[in-house]
């Protein structure tokens, strides 16, 4: 087993619900020691979020279990003198402080970036908010759906008839958390050179707009505003979802040679000679007619057959799976992407708890969480020893 790249990094995690905990989960998978600071008796709101009422009542909702494995939990009230004293000691020993309060909340509790820098000059302080610490919307409340709407994402999701539509999972929270994790890793690398801490101001809105790729760059570079195209790829044709004999099939024949191979394999080589489909731009202009021709040909076989035939010939093609099918696929199993852990004590759930990894193998090894998610305050009794250990680590050369 390899040593994880962030082994020895100490993360003080004040975050709730999704973007922040998703960030610290990835830091944990990479080896960081993550200590969640939770409000006594309440904890992370995600503890009460999920489809299972019994788990929610136990403070172990599915939303919490999904992204808090391998972390420690201590309860501290930052409005209480004893809690503030313990928190200040933890800050002195931490490498990273992560929070996703509304802009300015931690500062109003007495811990603005300057105060944190006094406590620990080498601290990487990362604040994740909907809109960033500055700007006219910095104090506005923000959840994933709000950011999806403001980013323009919803305006291009769906068909011209159905848009705007929300993306089917909290993508802006996810992108915000990944952006924060990337920035933290970069700041730690920088500190290794100059010894300086950093204040990282992560805007979920800006991170989400950045992640939209060509939809944004086409407008910035060419002044062309993107429009909803449903399950079709606006940049190429044939590229989108098609109809096989038993259900949908994704095909992305984006290159000329892929299009020619596709036509041959589906028994329609004459499509390549049709002037409407001769080149990329012509195919985009006559997309509907081309899609009808391809769907007629695909009706001869089930989607699984076409997936096998086309992919073997170098034409990107695959069935559309449900989430359970994707999780249970041989591909996911073959890479060890899903980890099995015992449920935390108090969770009335049978069997093992399954959680995802990060999609990266280090020298062939998939890093999974070393322990299940913590119950609220599970590590309260360990706080004195934790403080001693962190103080000693903070005093060692970085």
Cα separation, 22 vs 16, in Å, equals 9
Cα separation, 210 vs 224, in Å, equals 17
Residue 77 appears among annotated catalytic residues: no
User: 12 — phi, psi (to 5°)?
Assistant: -100, 115
Residue pair 148/208 in contact by the 8 Å Cβ criterion = yes
Give the closest residue to 86 by CA, choosing from 387, 397, 389. Answer: 387
Give the list of residues 6+ apart from residue 39 with CB closer than 8 angstroms, or none. Answer: 75, 77
Residue in the block written with tokens 């990273």: 96
Residue pair 243/300 in contact by the 8 Å Cβ criterion = no
The per-residue DSSP string of 91-131 comes to: HHH-SEEEE-PSTTHHHHTT--HHHHHHH-TT-EEEEEESS
Between the alpha carbon of residue 244 and those of residues 167, 238, 286, 325, 349, the distances in Å are 25, 15, 21, 18, 40
> How many Cβ atoms from other residues are within 10 Å of residue 177's Cβ?
28
Cα separation, 206 vs 142, in Å, equals 13
Cα separation, 327 vs 314, in Å, equals 25
Residue pair 138/103 in contact by the 8 Å Cβ criterion = yes
Percent of residues in the chain assigned helix, strand, coil, to nearest 5: 45, 15, 45
**Which of the following is catalytic: 144, 173, 201, 363?**
173
Cα separation, 125 vs 104, in Å, equals 13
Cα separation, 374 vs 371, in Å, equals 8
Indicate the length of the chain as a whole number: 398
Residue pair 215/144 in contact by the 8 Å Cβ criterion = no
Which residues have a catalytic role annotated? 173
């Amino acid at each position: 087993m390899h040593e994880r790249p962030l082994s020895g990094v100490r993360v003080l995690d004040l975050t709730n619900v999704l973007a922040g905990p998703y960030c610290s989960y990835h830091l944990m998978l990479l080896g960081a020691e993550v200590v969640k600071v939770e409000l006594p008796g309440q904890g992370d709101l995600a503890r009460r979020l999920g489809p299972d009422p019994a788990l929610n009542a136990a403070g172990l909702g599915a939303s919490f279990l999904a992204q808090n494995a391998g972390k420690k939990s201590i309860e501290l009230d930052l409005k209480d003198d004893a809690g503030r004293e313990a928190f200040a000691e933890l800050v002195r020993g931490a490498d990273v402080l992560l929070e996703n309060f509304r802009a300015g909340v931690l500062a109003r509790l007495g811990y603005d970036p300057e105060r944190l820098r006094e406590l620990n000059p080498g601290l990487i302080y990362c604040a994740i908010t909907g809109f960033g610490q500055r700007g006219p919307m910095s104090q506005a409340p923000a959840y994933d759906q709000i950011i999806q709407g403001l980013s323009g994402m919803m305006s291009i999701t769906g068909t011209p008839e159905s848009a705007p539509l929300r993306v089917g999972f909290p993508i802006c929270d996810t992108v915000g958390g990944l952006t924060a994790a990337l920035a933290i890793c970069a700041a730690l690398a920088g500190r290794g050179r100059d010894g300086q801490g950093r204040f990282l101001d992560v805007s979920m809105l800006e991170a989400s707009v950045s992640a939209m790729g060509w939809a944004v760059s086409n407008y910035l570079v060419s002044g062309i505003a993107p429009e909803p195209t449903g399950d079709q790829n606006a940049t190429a044709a044939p590229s989108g979802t098609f109809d096989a004999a038993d259900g949908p099939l994704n095909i992305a024949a984006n290159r000329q040679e892929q299009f020619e191979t596709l036509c041959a394999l589906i028994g329609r080589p004459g499509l390549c000679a049709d002037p409407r489909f001769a080149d990329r731009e012509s195919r985009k202009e006559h997309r509907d007619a081309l899609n009808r021709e391809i769907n007629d040909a695909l009706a001869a076989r089930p989607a699984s057959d076409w997936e096998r035939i086309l992919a073997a010939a170098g034409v990107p093609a695959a069935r559309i799976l449900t989430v359970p099918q994707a999780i249970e696929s041989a591909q996911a199993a073959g890479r060890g992407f899903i980890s099995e852990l015992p449920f935390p004590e108090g969770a009335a759930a049978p069997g093992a708890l399954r959680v995802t990894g990060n999609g990266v193998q280090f020298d062939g090894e998939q890093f999974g969480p070393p322990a299940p998610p913590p119950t609220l305050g599970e590590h309260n009794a360990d706080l004195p020893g934790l403080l001693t250990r962190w103080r000693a680590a903070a005093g060692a050369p970085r």
